[in-house]
Structure 1
């Protein structure tokens, strides 16, 4: 999947994947991550998610990486308006960086961001990863590369991972279907993998039901 696909989605405001509320799974299960406030949490392919707001308000440093500068412009503006966090924006090479109190946002290619860069910016490694819509945003051909790069980027930090699974012969992504077996293939050699919750969402997703799906499952994993 080319970057132009996502740039086009944001420029046309075709962002049905964006939630206008904090994810209920984050609210319910984040305390089980047992991460002390003050630590930095990485949100890969973050868009302008309100989950980042919630984590910052909860006292965590937040690091968002997102391809679209449009998305991060809107996110930075909201952080300033709603949390009174002054954000400084600068263009550095192929990236656009947004820096504020407890906030680091990077607009650019996820695969071009490395651990050393984050360490310079943060003074150390991130302590956790929250992946709500990153793995499922990528086609199968990119997911192995993504999982390996994320592991290196975060120096093996614990992850809260949310996936979606459905019959992809009936509907193509994104969001793409990621099976439990695929999650194990990507992560079980790197982490202790725990399936925390599996929930059927098809009755809550009429747009996917209208496309012929009989099942649309959400799974939550902890990777430690």
Structure 2
């Protein structure tokens, strides 16, 4: 799976990349209640322009991406000075208030996520095969503190289309994966995309658990 992902970026097969901000992010993020200044975790971020939108709306962003090509393209297409440093197994680039950590999401641990207070997943869960999705949901829950909020985009393919990535993740699977650790709220189902039959669903999530008093 990792090899296929890296090959896609090297060969430019990135039809999943949007050239604009996802409309669900614009519509629903302000309703989540994530305070300005809250750092947002974006797993498997690619070079998503959604990170720039979050940064413009007063959210420091920490994106994690396996493909170095994606990170370098994001930096090249942006503005501002770039700082580079190493954090354990991750090579990190910072441009403005966006940090991009190059490495395996499953090697990112709670000690490195100390400042994370929200998350956004537009294309991480649906990029993973079924056998990995449970691991992803559990690992994400370990990184997100109680009370933190997030937005998730899932996807279903046209009936009879079992291909991927992106993979079909049904509403039932979203609830099965996340409800043990998150309060899950279904926000909307989009219309099928013309030509592909893909249909997105939008979810709001709040990490369960006792809130720590200051």
TM, length-normalised to structure 1? 0.86
Task: Give the structure 2 partner of residue 116 of structure 1.
Answer: 111
Task: Give the structure 2 partner of residue 142 of structure 1.
Answer: 132
How far 1:91 sits from its partner (Å)?
4.6
Distance, in Å, in 2 between the alignment partners of 1:26 and 1:101 is 20
Give the 3 Å change call, closer, same or farther, for CA 26–66 of structure 1 in structure 2.
Answer: same
- SS across alignment from 2:166: coil
Residues 168, 176 of structure 1: 8 Å contact kept? no
Task: Give the structure 2 partner of residue 50 of structure 1.
Answer: 49
Give the unaligned 5+ runs of structure 1: 210-215
Task: Give the structure 2 partner of residue 76 of structure 1.
Answer: 75
Task: Give the structure 2 partner of residue 220 of structure 1.
Answer: 202
Residues 75, 95 of structure 2: 8 Å contact kept? no
**1:38 paired to 2:37:** yes
User: 1:11-22 counterparts in 2 under 5 A?
Assistant: 11-22=10-21
User: 1:92-107 counterparts in 2 under 5 A?
Assistant: 94-107=89-102
How far 1:74 sits from its partner (Å)?
1.3
- SS across alignment from 2:84: strand
Distance, in Å, in 2 between the alignment partners of 1:91 and 1:38 is 24
Structure with greater helix share of residues:
1
Give the unaligned 5+ runs of structure 2: 207-214
Task: Give the structure 1 partner of residue 163 of structure 2.
Answer: 172
TM, length-normalised to structure 2? 0.90
The one of 141, 145, 160 aligned to 1:155: 145
**Cα root mean square deviation, aligned:** 1.6
Following superposition, which runs of at least 4 residues in structure 1 exceed 4 angstroms of deviation? none
How far 1:168 sits from its partner (Å)?
6.6
Deviates more, 1:53-62 or 1:89-98: 89-98
How far 1:167 sits from its partner (Å)?
4.8
Residues 69, 96 of structure 1: 8 Å contact kept? no
Residues 69, 107 of structure 1: 8 Å contact kept? yes
Residues 52, 98 of structure 2: 8 Å contact kept? no
